[in-house]
Amino acid sequence: MELLPAPRVVVPSRGEVRLTEHSRLHAGPGAEAVGRWLTGALRQATGLPLPEHREAAGAAGDGIALRLDAALAGEEYRLVSGPHGVLIEGGTAAGVFRGAQTLRQLLGPDAFRRAPLRSDRAWTVPHVRIEDAPRFRWRGLMLDVARHFLPKDGVLRQLDLMAAHKLNVLHLHLTDDQGWRIEIRRHPRLTEVGSWRARTKIGHRASPLWDERPHGGYYTQDDIREIVAYAAERHIEVVPEIDVPGHSQAAIAAYPELGNTDVVDTASLGVWDTWGVNPNVLAPTDHTLRFYEGVFEEVLELFPSEFIHVGGDECPKDQWRRSPAAQARVRELGLAGEDGLQAWFIGHFGEWLAARGRRLIGWDEILEGGLAQGAAVSSWRGYRGGIAAARAGHDVVMCPEQQVYLDHRQDAGPGEPVPIGYVRTLEDVYRFEPVPPELTPEEARHVLGTQANVWTEVMEDQQRVDYQVFPRLAAFAEVAWSSLPAPEDRDFAGFEQRMTAHYRRLDALGVAYRPPTGPRPWQRRPGVLGRPLDGPPPLR
């Protein structure tokens, strides 16, 4: 049946359920919203009316029934297609929703289209019994909408693609040196000034090329509400990232007093137009803390997520070293030096979030200098940070750049568009293991899961994002959802076999993936300088 990600148990049997214009859908208590979603998706693709049936029994034969089963865990589901019709049961509505995604795969690739291709085709579900549950509770995708803005429709589409792969966390990287992408009512210049730049470097920062068109965009608070609600309908949590104290030049361009005004003329800074690690970081002042508390207050109103991401990565300390004001702060707080300012800054927001019932998560640099209980770490510089965090009792999301940075090129060939980083093929991602063997079972329980990170410096639009993300996200989704054997024992040939069916689904969804044979001519970017890395990278 070529399901992807692979379910735990699939027992096929002879026969099929045929959906017709008489078929009905019954959604039991707690599953009504999933019923509405599934009816909508199937009506679009099949043209069948699928009216609601109030009685489960009435869904017999040629119908679909959805219901909760308290004996199942939250996202666990059971899908049985047989003489009684199709029954999907989940531990919660989330479990039913995951099962509904499996049903869509069972109906064939055209079930992923938004209108029927013809009116006379038969829609059948083979008889089968499927039992399934995720390996990890955090199966994420990080989308960088700061370097290149992805308009709202693109984010909603990405949520649909995530849902089709049973992913459940969208980490939205909303702010960076090159752009501020979320409306903050009390600080309007963050978007008036910070949401656009006059021009953009094309390719790696060493490239001589510029795109001289202004680039920008941001989500209004209503756009964010819509994104969060759309995600919730798909049982996806949106975790916002506001990156502090580094990666902040767009905010400083909007409000120069946020920067280290005693060592740089922050009033002359614009939104950054090129790439790399930026020296212009936030000043460690009370004013900065109050300003960002105001930002986070609005962020908490918009995002109900348990975790709030505060960035914390790549904050050069040079300006703090030279700034008399920052040095006075070091002395006043009794810190060991400017390195301590970073831990103080992050610690402040960790406590601030905890007092409001939320948990801080940040990139693994936040471990330096100690981390408050309850805070969690996104381990990006290999596994090392994640191992240290888990051993110290912190929860971890594994996203090592050596394995699951999808901006990295996926083939060594010369045709790859703007080749960045290491070669990480579909097979490499399929053999990625989120839990390092060094961890004891007790420590490994702190690994909440894993996410793939999509940094968009060299991805200027949706097509470029599609190319970098797919097909590798399909392999990643199976790593995150399915209970696969050890990396060397994984059946990549079997996965590739299932991918042949999955490419047809991606085609129906309109995904501009990288074909197995290499980029199509229009997917190349000849002449744009990248930065391919060679040699064996440090894996942890």
* Catalytic positions: 176, 247, 314
Residue 345 as a binder of ligand ACM (CB under 6 A): the answer is no
Q: Least distance from C-beta 459 to ligand ACM, angstroms?
A: 14
Q: Does 149 bind ligand ACM (CB under 6 A)?
A: no
In the complex, which residue's CB is closest to ligand ACM? 313
Return the number of the residue (194 or 382) whose C-beta is nearest ligand ACM: 382
Q: Is 363 in the site for ligand ACM (CB under 6 A)?
A: yes
CB closer to ligand ACM, 196 vs 363: 363
Shortest Cβ 380–ligand ACM spacing (Å): 4
Provide the minimum distance between the beta carbon of 274 and ligand ACM in the complex, in angstroms, as a whole number: 16
Report d(CA 65, CA 59) in Å as an integer: 6
* Contact of 378 with 362, CB cutoff 8 Å: yes
What is the closest distance, in whole angstroms, from the C-beta atom of residue 62 to ligand ACM in the complex? Answer: 50
* Minimum distance of ligand ACM from residue 277's CB (angstroms): 8
| Residue 343 phi, psi dihedral angles, 5° rounding | -65, -35
Q: Is 37 in the site for ligand ACM (CB under 6 A)?
A: no
Minimum distance from CB of 269 to ligand ACM (Å)?
Answer: 20
The residue among 138 and 380 lying less far from ligand ACM, judged by its C-beta, is 380
Whether 523 contacts 470, CB under 8 Å = no
Judge whether 530 and 420 are in contact, CB under 8 Å.
yes
Residue 352 lies near ligand ACM (rule: CB under 6 A): no
**Cβ closer to ligand ACM: 215 or 309?**
309
Q: Which residues from 301-320 bind ligand ACM, rule CB under 6 A?
A: 313-314
Confirm if 104 and 41 have CB atoms less than 8 A apart: yes
The bridge status of strand 77-82 relative to strand 237-244 is unpaired
What is the Rg, in whole angstroms, of the alpha carbon atoms belonging to the chain? Answer: 24
* Contact pick of 380, 422, 503, 513 for ligand ACM (by CB under 6 A): 380
Nearer to ligand ACM, 241 or 428 (CB): 241
Q: For ligand ACM, give the closer residue by CB, 314 or 496.
A: 314
**CA distance readout (Å), 248 to 139, 173, 317, 363, 459:** 27, 12, 13, 15, 21
The Cα 188–Cα 182 span in angstroms is 10
Residue 478 near ligand ACM by CB under 6 A: no
Kindly state the number of chain residues that form the binding site for ligand ACM, as judged by CB under 6 A: 4
**Measured between alpha carbons, how far is 375 from 309 in angstroms, rounded to an integer?**
10
Among candidates 76, 68, 56, which has minimal Cα distance to 31?
A: 68
Q: What separation in angstroms does the CA of 104 have from each of 139, 232, 534, 536? A: 20, 19, 41, 40
537 φψ region: left (φ > 0), alpha (ψ -120 to 50), beta (else)? beta
Catalog residues that contact ligand ACM under the rule CB under 6 A. 313-314, 363, 380
